[in-house]
Amino acid sequence: MRLVVGSRESRLARLQAERVMGRLKALDPKLELEWRGLSTTGDRYKETPFAALGERGIFVKELQRALLAGEVDVAVHSLKDLPSTLPAGLVLAAVPEREDPRDVLVSRRGLRLRDLPAGARLGTSSARRAAFLKALRPDFDVIPLRGNVDTRLRKALTEDYDGIILAAAGLGRLGLAGQVTEYIPPAIMPPAPGQGALAVEARADAAAVLDLLRRIDDPAARAATAAERAFMRVLGGGCTAAVGAYGRIADGRLSLLGAVAAPDGRRVFRDEVSGDLSAAEELGEDLAHRLLAAGAEQVLAEARP
């Protein structure tokens, strides 16, 4: 079998694709694999705020089109970039073992969030991160920051920022975990649904490919992220909404923390549910309905363009 594996062109995206390719090659050494990098809308407009791009899936749509057109056989994404509803004809074929889902602070002076000075300037273009930073400390000055991980780390060393917020998993995959000043607990900053996990997408009618990819699927990662994505799907949140979710498994039970925050951090709706792994999506849906009933609907409506 020969497979063309597509991903975004960034160094991190290629490393993630190569990690999946390595897992597949270990299953079948005779497998022929080719990597193909594609530019996405989110990559082409690096300085544009997410909200201004006005669409979901800005880092995946071009890869999905290539999949449907038969130009690639497999697409590897960061799962947090993949919308909770997929185009007809495509399936989430595998969610490999998940890495650390937390957000982290990188501070040039080595200060933790609680120790940063009043009015500290923190860089992020994530509405979720900005809102939960404000909920923690309303005095923070949150400054837009986009670009790949290397670019953002370089900017973090300048006097323009007292710190920046990144995903732990991305730094870990790039071998940059030593740059982390603080791992932020999910109770303070619930991660983006799917953060820390990879998504391996394929065509629904490619039976042989799906059979192969099924062998690198991790049941625990699949269940936890399915709950998180169901939570997001019911809420209808996108890049402009401050929605976080964190699923974790202990003693055969799945616990799901979910939260919705207003952009200024003054209103935060947060709750937690637990249940069987087999009911992962139902747990996510139930938690979303709880928060909507508690008043999160108004916050979400205000965040919609």
> Which residues carry out catalysis?
80-81, 128-129, 146, 152, 239
Tokens of 301: 């409506």
Q: With residue 75 as reference, give the H or E element that holds it.
A: strand 74-78
Report how far residue 274's alpha carbon sits from residue 224's, in angstroms, rounded to the nearest whole number.
Answer: 11
The torsion angles phi and psi of 279, rounded to 5 degrees, stand at -110, 30
Question: H/E element holding 161?
Answer: none
Paired tokens of 61: 């749509």
**What dihedral do alpha carbons 107, 109, 112, 117 form, nearest 10°?**
-110
Give, in order, the Cα–Cα distances in Å from 66 to each of 9, 19, 21, 45, 203: 14, 21, 18, 20, 11
Can you read off the two tokens belonging to residue 140? 């923070």
How buried is 176 (Cβ within 10 angstroms: 0-12 exposed, 13-18 middle, 19+ buried)? middle
Q: Provide the 10 A C-beta neighbour count for residue 280.
A: 23
C-alpha to C-alpha distance for 183 and 11, rounded to whole angstroms = 23
Largest CA distance in the chain: 58
What does the block give as tokens for 202?
């394929």
Query: In 3D, which of 34, 40, 20, 74 has the Cα closest to residue 148?
Result: 40
First to last CA, the chain: 45
Residue 171: how many CA atoms within 13 Å on its side-chain side?
23
